[in-house]
A and B are shown apart, each in its own frame.
Chain A
């Protein structure tokens, strides 16, 4: 009886659990596609927090690793369709980098569904909403991702207790400009 109720509780917790997903969207296609999904009032789950980047070529594989290290259950990388990159070829670099990274993540024990590479154009609002819905469903089915520790052992970052906005950090490149 008590065993049963524990299982039920776990099942209830699993049903309530919502995955955290970080989305890296290129500003020209996918971010604009997400905006259009908004203007077209297409509903999708709120699990994806979007970071706007100029181009999918800007997405350093470290960003993805960082996200998983900080507790992401999934990462969405989305750019312009091959051939349509605003900068001609940034998405080709993204494709190669993410392909390699995906294999590394699999090697580390992450399910391949946790990193998703998609091409969404500025006109593909419905596609964007579908991608988000589908990904949230897939990641939900996988359950929470295992988290790797921060190398610096940053307080809070690993335990996830507080946002790790440092109080005083030199601005990148400041030295050069002075």
Chain B
């Protein structure tokens, strides 16, 4: 006989409004094996947990069932509570009567009946709970940070500051990321390079950080504390140890007409190049797809002019295999390719540019040395129109979400233009202004009031050329009028979107993505930098568009999670793994063939009664992730998944269907 206690939570009115919790508790009290049932306003709160602990003592309960929210939210809470009450933590079950009952049903009768059923199923399952114990797993105290933007740099610095080794992998030839492309930052207008480049140097000189640029993560295997990552360092064709960064090679390179990625396609670069002068590491890369020598077999000018003899045309990709205890993903965002907006003429009219391109055009390190010249004829624009929400908040062509940063960077652009050329006429079409950060609203107000930027509320229907000007046709919805503005330059505030290969990386890391391919956090509020894959963390805009302060904060947060994980002597593994019952195992090893983790070995087993020896399957608990695929594949029911045994699930099925 078990003595199960059932604890029904009101969750304020979240549950109690739709589910008659008293009736649920009364029904639970009559269920077989239930020795005690009660309700409380907030079971997860301190007094709620005390009710559980006291009831365990007073009524000699040996299992608890908490009817409350989803186990994804509070399973751990109540396992800890059970442990504090002197029970094995795995003698605790939850019935999800909030997310999957009170919040999705409105009829009180129906919802109460379903809640009773869910409690009944949890009670049936609890009866078969087993005592389980976590085992210790060792940790490799090294972190892998994927992505060298400001979030990744911050995360690497913070993990390194806690005394642990970090490998920072960056896909492009230099760390720095999006922020390195920016001119100034809102709302303080400090120069992006002035605050970022010292950080880049700091991370490069940190003895705990190893930076691997021009490299990508090919595959990741293993689990929490024991990941193995395969990193492909692409051939740079320049020896890092020999190059002194003098820059003669790219000054002399004859292939000069390659669009510069760093300048968002506006300027040009050479085939051997550093993306920008402050690059870290300051070592050029040969772009083999555009290099004359690699295309035609002739040239080698860079080799001739290199006094350090650092050019190495025969360099091969290098494969690094490294062990890590934790992984921080900080791969950032792409900018929407808004050629889908044919009505804005992007791609056809050179004077319709994106916000990121404007950022390069006003940057002193950009293709025009910071003097804003429009791309078509190099004229300095006298009037500029900004169009916001291009691709954001637009379900039909772009994304339904708000990209969060565009209102602010558009305000920044307008102020920067006005500061240099106060006589420029600037118009900004917007849907709503979203400026919800420290000093943000004041900043937008400054653009409108102090700098006299004309904010027009409404959408733009068309952009077309007239003479050497662009005509922007739209509607001012506050005046209820059609408006037509002539401009020399049109700047689109394009949506931020997930990296095109985010999904691919998510699969390598085994983490979830949302419908837009942003990485999904473990809990949107309480675990914002963790993923549901233990040991993999998120930093920066790969999770959702973030501005610089938020990216830096999430980088630090992820680093803190990693550091706290590394500070423990060992980690505890979930005991809910598969287990072979050797007495009945026939050694067919069907389980081995379906196991995704190679966690099943063949071992010899001697029957203690008959002394017969046979081959049986055995689960390596360190490798088993507890998916249970082997259990469903076993012909003789000789393999069980702890916490999800056949017996438990069969009883749940029976209970679910009993009248």
> Taking beta carbons and an 8 Å cutoff, which residues of A are in contact with B?
20, 22, 27-29, 31-32, 34-39, 41-46, 49-55, 57-63, 66-67, 70-72, 83-84, 86-90, 93, 97, 121-124, 129, 156-157, 160-165, 167-169, 171-176
Contacts and interface: CB of A to CB of B under 8 A. Distances in A.
Contact of A86 (B96, B104, B533, B632): B533
A58 B100 contact: no
Contacts of A50: 96, 100, 118
Nearest to B129: A171
Contacts of B346: none
Contacts of B645: 172-173
B124 interface: yes
A173 B640 contact: yes
B653 A41 contact: no
B658 A163 contact: yes
Q: Which 8 A-B pairs have the closest CB atoms?
A: A38-B99, A58-B628, A57-B629, A87-B627, A38-B103, A55-B627, A163-B658, A49-B656
A31 B640 contact: no
Interface in B112-140: 113-114, 117-118, 120-121, 123-124, 127-128, 130
B32 A167 contact: yes
Contact of A43 (B105, B532, B576, B644): B105
Contacts of A44: 104-105
Nearest to A73: B657
Contacts of B594: 57, 93
17 contacts: A22-B653, A35-B100, A41-B103, A49-B118, A53-B649, A55-B629, A58-B641, A90-B596, A121-B512, A160-B657, A160-B658, A160-B659, A163-B32, A163-B120, A165-B32, A165-B124, A165-B651
The winner among B31, B597, B647 for most chain A CB atoms within 10 A is: B647
B633 interface: yes
Contacts of A87: 596-597, 625, 627, 629
B583 interface: yes
B632 A165 contact: no
Given A39-B103, A49-B117, A70-B654, 16 more contacts: A32-B72, A46-B107, A52-B96, A54-B644, A57-B628, A57-B632, A58-B631, A58-B644, A62-B646, A86-B627, A90-B627, A123-B513, A164-B658, A165-B654, A171-B128, A175-B583
Interface string B80-117: 00000000000000001011110111110011011001
Contacts of A53: 628, 644, 649
B57 interface: no
A158 B523 CA distance: 42
Nearest to A49: B656
B579 A63 contact: no
Interface in B491-533: 506-507, 510, 512-515, 520, 532-533
Contacts of B130: 171-174
B99 A52 contact: no
- Name the interface size band of chain B: 35 or more
Interface of B: 1, 31-33, 70-72, 96, 98-101, 103-107, 110-111, 113-114, 117-118, 120-121, 123-124, 127-128, 130, 506-507, 510, 512-515, 520, 532-533, 576, 579, 581-583, 594, 596-597, 625-629, 631-633, 640-641, 644-647, 649-659
B592 to A, nearest CB: 14
A149 B421 CA distance: 86
Nearest to A70: B657
Contact of A84 (B512, B576, B582, B656): B512
B653 A70 contact: yes
A84 B120 contact: no
Given A58-B627, A129-B104, A165 B121 contact: no
A123 B520 contact: yes
Contacts of A32: 72, 532
Contacts of B128: 169, 171-172
Nearest to B516: A123
Nearest to A57: B629
Contacts of B625: 87
Nearest to B582: A176
Given A38-B98, A49-B118, A60 B72 contact: no
Nearest to B123: A165
Nearest to A126: B515
Contacts of B652: 51
The winner among B100, B103, B120, B597 for most chain A CB atoms within 10 A is: B100
B582 A123 contact: no
